Amino acid sequence: MLIDTHAHIDDEKFAEDRAEVIQRAIDSGVTRMINVGSDIKSSARSVKLAADYNEIYAAVGIHPQEAKTMMKSHDDLLASWAQLPKVVAIGEIGLDYYYENSEREIQKKVFIRQLDLARQMHLPVSIHDRDAHGDTMAILKKEGKGIIGVIHCFSGSWEMAHDLLRKGWFIGVDGPVTFKNAAKLPEIVQQVPLDRLLVETDSPYLAPVPKRGKRNEPAYVRHVAEKIAALRNIEFEVFAKATTENARHLFGIQ
């Protein structure tokens, strides 16, 4: 059993075969998936998917690339969704200094607003952090009190991971851990305590080896899990059970 804790199954790349993609995941042992919103429209789709499929849970939020689109009325809309039983996180929120489709100051303000929403709704967060490690950690230190969550598709240093772990946070690992140019990520996932790791696909993006270059889908989270289990020199079943329990603990998934 595995849980893909970060996917975008609502993406238009799945328009033609979404039901088949979900069934392939289930058939491969991925018993639960968290579909993560990136703007208001995708968050609405995420909520609908969770209502339509027993195996899917939802996260709702505004991605940093879409931060400039967030209006005041969206706070109330996100809050109303956050009260639904199958909405298990606020996300995908955070900072992205690689594309900067929204100005950095706007990203920061929207990030803080959604952290406050998560605190009020007593929900964990799924954080996007690309080329913004310093500001992400600074905001979490100042504005993240009383909140826990996961740094999705972790790309920081061991020092950053260690700081997050001390605060009770989780580390999300995706397809890049299987890449030849994975840099320090394989070393980091060997050091993170087993009870703080989550596996993700970020479908339809970042397909792991041996599917690299193809459309990613939740069934492929198994390749991520197998790679990490091998790096840690533990049986796949042991690793799968641990990360499933981690996801259940953080997100309250049944």
pLDDT at 254 over 90: no
How far is C-alpha 82 from the chain's CA centre?
16
Annotated binding-site residues read 6, 8, 92, 128, 152, 202
pLDDT at 100 over 90: no
pLDDT in tens, 4-45: 999 999 999 999 999 999 999 999 999 999 999 999 999 999
Annotated binding-site residues for a divalent metal cation read 6, 8, 92, 128, 152, 202
Q: Can you read off the two tokens belonging to residue 124?
A: 């964990």
Arithmetic mean of pLDDT over the chain: 97
DSSP-derived secondary structure for 55-75: TEEEEE---GGGGGG--HHHH
Angle at 114 between CA 111 and CA 116, to 5 degrees: 110
CB 63 within 8 A of CB 39: yes
The Cα–Cα gap between 118 and 1 comes to 28
pLDDT in tens, 221-239: 999 999 999 999 999 999 9
What pLDDT, on the 0 to 100 scale, is given for residue 212?
Answer: 96
Which alpha helices (DSSP H) does 122-235 contain, by range?
133-143, 158-166, 185-191, 221-232
pLDDT at 60 over 90: yes
| Of 184, 183, 140, residue with least CA distance to 159 | 184
Give the dihedral of Cα atoms 143, 206, 250, 148; nearest 10 deg.
Answer: -10
Specify which residues 126 forms β-bridges with: 91, 150
CB 42 within 8 A of CB 67: no
pLDDT at 183 over 90: no
CB 225 within 8 A of CB 213: no
| Of 39, 33, 28, residue with least CA distance to 67 | 39
Q: Which domains does the chain have, with CATH numbers?
A: 2-251 (3.20.20.140)
The Cα–Cα gap between 28 and 207 comes to 16
Start-to-end CA span in the chain (Å) = 13
3-class secondary-structure state, position 103: coil
Q: What's the pTM? A: 0.97
